[in-house]
Amino acid sequence: MPIKIDRINKISSNLGKSTILILGDVMLDEYLYGSVTRISPEAPVPVVEINNEQLRLGGAANVANNVRSLGDEPILVGVIGEDDASIKLSQLLKEKGISRDNLIDDSERRTTIKTRIIAHSQQVVRADREDTDEISSGLEKRILDRFNSVSDKIRGVIISDYGKGVITASLLEKIIPACREEGIFVAVDPKETHFFNYSKVCVITPNHHEAGFAAGRRIRTDDDLNYVGKFLLEKLQADSILITRGERGMALFNANGEVDYFPTVAKKVFDVTGAGDTVIASFVSAIAAGATLKEAAVISNCAAGVVVGEIGTGTVSAAVLTEELKRHFANGG
């Protein structure tokens, strides 16, 4: 579906004027870059000689970073540990202009760290340090207090569920109805094992693997895709479902029965890490800026096409996104 240039201009002019709450699993992404010249004599594995390292925001924090990059004000709500990783995470948030005031410190949890070792532009291995037990009822109440304190000024809520224990069924049972009652657009980037806890959201954005798992049917064909999308839409009583399909683009299923397909606009794919974060952030930012569901899908598809051309979790600015949209649709889409 093409977007007319005047609509691109209209939506772009409203980007950066909204406040969006991001609730979920906050992580620290560590990247170790190096080269491989030999195999270890201890085991048949490559020896990576590290020559560079980098820390980045991950999980819900990367969603907040994407929202900030598009110009909107992110309110990041989550639970982190009282450890060295939390200090590094807080510094990164400060550098990106994202407040850590709504993050809850828990001395009994570790801050989640994902360490990726990359050699010659390819990921060799990932090591995770994390605690995944569900948060306590006391922490749930503190999260709800934070939501209630800002609900009158937010245009959207993004639930970023990576299955690390912050997004519980009881929390969803309180947050989602509150958003619907107050007219706040609520979107979910799901964890497949929690799928049917996300009832009555405005949009849910699974990839095709997650969607197929939840529906009990692997997506191999367009018929499979249509079955899965319509099944999940009805099961969840959601307004819409946006299924991301990697190199095959996206499919949007609407509660009114409409289905729209969006081929990928990516010119090259180096790394899909964090692409889902970009999709949901740009989708909700576009909705907050006045886009329709279809327009938001087109915009998020274009945003994802930009970030997969980078190694590591990336973001896209409003200016770059607007330029890409105009370039793509000026040539006929």
State the pairing for strand pair 103-106/73-81. parallel
Tokens read off for 289: 């800026």
| 277 counts as catalytic | yes
State the pairing for strand pair 112-119/26-39. parallel
Q: Give the helix ranges, DSSP H, for the chain.
A: 5-14, 60-69, 84-95, 137-150, 169-182, 208-215, 222-236, 275-288, 293-307, 318-330
Q: Which of 72, 106, 161, 277 is catalytic?
A: 277
Using alpha carbons, select from 128, 135, 134 the residue that is nearest to residue 112: 128
CA distances (Å), 282 to each of 7, 118, 260, 270, in order? Answer: 16, 27, 18, 20
Tokens read off for 143: 């999260």
Are residues 217 and 235 in contact, defined by beta-carbon separation less than 8 angstroms? Answer: no
Question: What is the torsion angle, in degrees rounded to the nearest 10, for the CA atoms of residue 186, residue 189, residue 193 and residue 199?
Answer: 20
DSSP-derived 3-state class of residue 25: coil
Q: Give the active site residues.
A: 277
